Amino acid sequence: MTAPIGIDFGTTNSVVAMLQPDGSVTTQTYAFGHARLDTFRTVLCFWNEEARGRSVLHHAAGPAAVQAYLDDPLDSRLIMSMKTYLAQRSFVQTSIFGRMHGLEQMVALFLKGLLNDGHAGAQVVAGRPVRFAGEFADDGFGEMRLRASFARAGFEGIGVALEPEAAGFRFARGLDAAATVLVGDFGGGTSDFSVMRFAPGRVAALGHAGIGIAGDSFDARIIDQVIAPLLGKGDVYSIMGNALPVPPEYFSGFARWHRLSLMRTPRMLREIEEVAAASEHPGRLRALIRLIEDEMGYPLYQAVSAVKAELSHARSAVLRFTHGNFAVERLIERQEFERWIAPDLARLSLTVGQALDQAGVRADEIDRVFLTGGTSFVPAVRALFEQRFGASRVSGGGEFVSVAEGLALIGQDRLRSA
Among residues 345, 338, 349, 385, the alpha carbon closest in space to that of 366 is found at: 385
* C-alpha dist (Å) from residue 332 to 312, 335, 356: 12, 8, 35
DSSP summary character for residue 38 = S
Question: What amino acid occupies position 375?
Answer: T
Residues of the chain with pLDDT under 50: none
Structural domain range at position 408:
5-164+404-417
Instruction: CATH number of the domain at 155, please.
Output: 3.30.420.40
**Neighbouring residues of 367: CB distance < 8 A, sequence distance ≥ 6:** 179, 180, 181, 393
- The SS3 of residue 399 is coil
Q: Amino acid letter at 104?
A: E
**pLDDT tens across 36-82, in order?**
888 999 999 999 988 777 888 999 999 999 889 888 877 888 888 89
User: What is the per-residue pLDDT for 180?
Assistant: 95
Q: Give the chain's radius of gyration (CA, Å).
A: 22
Phi and psi torsions of 308, nearest 5°: -65, -45
CB 76 within 8 A of CB 126: no
CA distances from 140 to 87, 132, 147, 156, 237 (A): 8, 9, 11, 18, 44
* pLDDT score, position 152: 93
pLDDT over 70, % of the chain: 96
Residues 17/26, Cβ–Cβ less than 8 Å: yes
What is the pLDDT, as a whole number, of residue 183? 93
Neighbour-count burial for 145-156, b at 16+ CB within 10 Å, e otherwise:
bbbbbbebbebe
The predicted-structure confidence for 98-156, as pLDDT tens digits, reads as follows: 889 999 999 999 999 998 766 766 789 999 999 888 778 899 999 999 999 999 999 88
Residue 237 lies in a domain: no
Q: Which helix (H) or strand (E) holds 340?
A: helix 334-340
Residue 284 included in any domain? no
> CA-to-CA distance for 269 and 274, rounded, in angstroms?
9
In this prediction the pTM is: 0.83
- Residue 223 covered by a domain: no
Evaluate whether residue 350 is within a structural domain.
Answer: no
Residue 25 in any domain: the answer is yes
Quick check: helix, strand or coil at residue 310?
helix
Query: What value does the mean pLDDT of the chain take?
Result: 89
Predicted pLDDT at 1: 53
**DSSP character for 279?**
B
What are 184's strand-pairing partners? Answer: 193, 371
How far apart are alpha carbons 181 and 232 in whole angstroms? 47
Return d(Cα 208, Cα 130) in angstroms, integer.
7
Torsion of the alpha carbons at 401, 404, 406 and 411, rounded to the nearest 10: -160
How many domains does the chain fold into?
A: 1
Q: Please write down the HEC assignment for all residues of 158-189.
A: CEEEEHHHHHHHHHHCCCCCCEEEEEEEECCC
**Is the CB of residue 197 less than 8 Å from the CB of residue 356?**
no
On whether residue 107 sits in a domain, the answer given is yes
What are residue 30's DSSP bridge partners? Answer: 37
Nearest to 307 by CA among 291, 287, 329, 288: 329
Residue 385 phi, psi dihedral angles, 5° rounding: -80, -35
Phi and psi angles of residue 91, each rounded to the nearest 5 degrees, phi first? -105, 110
Residue 92 lies in a domain: yes
Q: Is residue 226 part of a domain?
A: no
Write down the pLDDT at residue 269.
Answer: 92
Q: What torsion, rounded to 10 degrees, do the Cα atoms 306, 307, 313, 316 define? A: 160
